[in-house]
A and B are shown apart, each in its own frame.
Chain A
Amino acid sequence: MNVKNMMYAAAALVVGVANVAVAHTAVGPICDTVARVGSTTYYSCSGSGHTALDMSNQSCSEWNHRGMIQGSVYYAYYGGCASNCSGGTTCNAGAGNYYKVTGAPGWDFAQLHLNSNASSGSKTCDRCALGLVGSTGNSTGAHVHAHNRKDTVRQSAWYVNAGTTCGSSAYCSNVVGYPTF
């Protein structure tokens, strides 16, 4: 293969590489040192299947629900649910007000159940305030639910590999996982 063809072959591969999912770093969503992880693979770590993180500081509509991804990414907002501190609604199919980061084909990362405020809306930012810790949608008490999916199937490796389990800190400078998207 001559040099010119090699260059074109390399350029062709770049087109594919841009769509490859990579790991990111996720920190806790609440800047309160008492914030803790309450559920991981199972609800409360011993109940039925969950495969996501639930994080709370036992407050509602008081503390900011922050973007968890280190570095600037685009958070797409899906709102329309009235603020709630007890949950149990089907708003947005149970997700409540939520944000989604859509990555490489099939991969996404989402943060659910927030109560909206002036900060809420689609935006590009680095761990900024997205709303308030709340309980919109199918939720029992105010918390932040975060999941990482491949083809709509929730993954567990992202938090397992970070050693996150029930009781881990969900403070906003503590790494809780390495989601892929």
Chain B
Amino acid sequence: MRRHPFSLGSKTMTHLPRIPGLRAALLATATCLLPVTAGAQGPVTLPMHATCSFSNMLRDLRQGLREGSPTYRRYLREHFKEAARVMPAEELLAMVAQEREPAVLEVLGAGLATKASFIEDPSLVQPLLQRAMSDGDPALRAAALKGLERTGSVEMMEKNGGVVTYPQLMRDPSPEVREAVASNLITESAKVYFGHDQRVSETAVAAALASPDPELTAKLLREVSMEKVGPETVDKLRGQLRAQSPSLRAAAATALGGVPGAQSPQARGSLVELYRSEKDPAVRKAALMGIARLGFAGSRSTLESLRGVAPGLDPEIDAWLTVLKRNNVQDWGLLLREKERIRK
């Protein structure tokens, strides 16, 4: 088998000299790291030769991240990730190991994680995991984690022996690190697996329950898909219906609304019980939403049976029943939007 013809393994190449103006300089340095496209034209005469080195590229990246607009910084991150796929792993690893500036570490980490994903070598992210776990600076720990965003990080952690895990990282004393954990898991569930991965969902629940911050726990339970979780995780979610924090109880009710069909009888029973015993109207609303989501049109009789339990919320039940009578709406996102249109 022939290997694909990337030819950018060398440390030094030629490119345009550094031009006054940050953008032009960064573009020049970053471009020299990208593969030549199929549509490339004939040879271009360069005005003069200069060394394209990783240290120059890193210097320009650092400057751009310090001084560029948010949009430009996002561009730099994406551009570096593309370049990193064909950069020598040793150079990337050395840069990650030495970096002390959080914004730069995050981008370098994203590049390293992209390369690991491209060449399917999860061991490449080990130094990133170690920094996320043990760097003395919480901003650097968070940055190392953010570098793993939108990758298969849960799987990569497992393939690295499970030495560093998200539930462990969620116990970090720094709120910044814990927020990075939540952000990574929410993004990974939605953007990498589109909500269809049991391992990521269950890791998210485990991390949520390890969090000392109820609001962060609630955020994870609310926003991560539960469509593939198993019975043990459903039991954990049911346990959170008795949490002290109302937002956590509401989040658990929301999460239970999204569990697989096989788990729905237990989830529905718990949500009905919650609706009957709960005092907080917002939590009760979440319970109604969970019941509606579990059964769609089939939940109408359950919802009707709850009329009068909390008279102030009967209009909420009516709104759900109105939407659920329209049998042509089978998509939960559309159903929810329609219900919100009728009654927020």
Beyond A20-B333, A62-B2, 5 additional contacts (C-beta under 8 Å) are A11-B251, A11-B254, A15-B258, A31-B5, A63-B1
Contact partners of A164 in chain B: CB under 8 A = none
Q: A61 to B2: give the CA distance in the assembly, Å.
A: 10
Q: A8 to B251: give the CA distance in the assembly, Å.
A: 9
Q: A20 to B251: give the CA distance in the assembly, Å.
A: 20
Contact partners of A172 in chain B: CB under 8 A = 4
| Shortest distance between the CB of A37 and any CB in chain B (Å) | 11
Give residues 85-143 of B contacting A (CB, 8 Å).
Answer: 85, 114, 117-120
Q: Which of B21-29, B52-60, B193-201, B304-312 contacts A (4 or more CB under 8 A)?
A: B193-201
User: Cβ of A174 < 8 Å from any Cβ of B?
Assistant: yes
In the complex, what residue of chain A is closest to B286 when comparing beta carbons? A8
Q: Which of B34-42, B167-175, B231-239 contacts A (4 or more CB under 8 A)?
A: B34-42
Among all A-B residue pairs, the 8 with the closest Cβ atoms: A31-B4, A124-B152, A171-B38, A16-B333, A169-B38, A126-B117, A16-B336, A33-B38
A74 contacts B196, CB within 8 Å? yes
B193 contacts A74, CB within 8 Å? yes
Interface residue from B38, B151, B194, B285 paired with A174 (Cβ < 8 Å) = B38
Contact partners of B286 in chain A: CB under 8 A = 8, 12
Interface residue from B5, B34, B189 paired with A33 (Cβ < 8 Å) = B5
Describe A's contact surface by its main secondary structure: loop
| Shortest distance between the CB of B47 and any CB in chain A (Å) | 26
| Shortest distance between the CB of B77 and any CB in chain A (Å) | 12
Known: A1-B344, A104-B194, A172-B4. A15 touches B222 (CB 8 A): yes
How does the 8 Å CB contact mask read for A12-44 relative to B, with 1 for contact and 0 for none?
Answer: 111111111000000010011101000000000
| Shortest distance between the CB of B177 and any CB in chain A (Å) | 22
Q: A11 to B344: give the CA distance in the assembly, Å.
A: 11
Interface residue from B38, B150, B289 paired with A71 (Cβ < 8 Å) = B150
**Could you list some 17 contacts between A and B, CB below 8 A?**
A8-B282, A12-B254, A15-B254, A15-B332, A17-B333, A18-B190, A19-B331, A19-B333, A31-B6, A64-B1, A72-B192, A104-B194, A105-B332, A117-B1, A125-B117, A127-B85, A174-B38
B344 contacts A102, CB within 8 Å? no
Contact partners of A173 in chain B: CB under 8 A = 34-35, 37-38
B117 contacts A128, CB within 8 Å? yes
Known: A15-B258, A74-B196. A9 touches B39 (CB 8 A): no
| Shortest distance between the CB of A106 and any CB in chain B (Å) | 8
In the complex, what residue of chain B is closest to A105 when comparing beta carbons? B331
Known: A8-B285, A19-B333, A169-B38. A14 touches B4 (CB 8 A): no
Give residues 304-325 of B contacting A (CB, 8 Å).
Answer: none
A62 contacts B192, CB within 8 Å? no
In the complex, what residue of chain B is closest to A63 when comparing beta carbons? B2
User: Cβ of B74 < 8 Å from any Cβ of A?
Assistant: no
Known: A17-B333, A20-B333. A9 touches B340 (CB 8 A): yes
| Shortest distance between the CB of A132 and any CB in chain B (Å) | 7
In the complex, what residue of chain A is closest to B120 when comparing beta carbons? A128
User: Cβ of B223 < 8 Å from any Cβ of A?
Assistant: yes
Q: A2 to B210: give the CA distance in the assembly, Å.
A: 31
| Shortest distance between the CB of A85 and any CB in chain B (Å) | 14
User: Cβ of B184 < 8 Å from any Cβ of A?
Assistant: no
How does the 8 Å CB contact mask read for A120-163 relative to B, with 1 for contact and 0 for none?
Answer: 00011111110010000000000000000000000000000000
| Shortest distance between the CB of A7 and any CB in chain B (Å) | 8
Contact partners of A94 in chain B: CB under 8 A = none
User: Cβ of A181 < 8 Å from any Cβ of B?
Assistant: yes
| Shortest distance between the CB of B202 and any CB in chain A (Å) | 15
User: Cβ of A103 < 8 Å from any Cβ of B?
Assistant: yes
In the complex, what residue of chain A is closest to B280 when comparing beta carbons? A4
Q: A132 to B1: give the CA distance in the assembly, Å.
A: 9
Interface residue from B6, B155, B282 paired with A124 (Cβ < 8 Å) = B155
User: Cβ of B66 < 8 Å from any Cβ of A?
Assistant: no
A171 contacts B37, CB within 8 Å? yes
In the complex, what residue of chain A is closest to B331 when comparing beta carbons? A105
Q: A181 to B223: give the CA distance in the assembly, Å.
A: 19
| Shortest distance between the CB of A133 and any CB in chain B (Å) | 10
| Shortest distance between the CB of A64 and any CB in chain B (Å) | 6
Contact partners of B6 in chain A: CB under 8 A = 31
| Shortest distance between the CB of B13 and any CB in chain A (Å) | 17
Contact partners of B119 in chain A: CB under 8 A = 128
User: Cβ of B250 < 8 Å from any Cβ of A?
Assistant: yes
| Shortest distance between the CB of B321 and any CB in chain A (Å) | 17
In the complex, what residue of chain B is closest to A61 when comparing beta carbons? B1
A13 contacts B152, CB within 8 Å? no
Give residues 154-200 of B contacting A (CB, 8 Å).
Answer: 155, 189-197
Q: A14 to B334: give the CA distance in the assembly, Å.
A: 12
User: Cβ of B240 < 8 Å from any Cβ of A?
Assistant: no
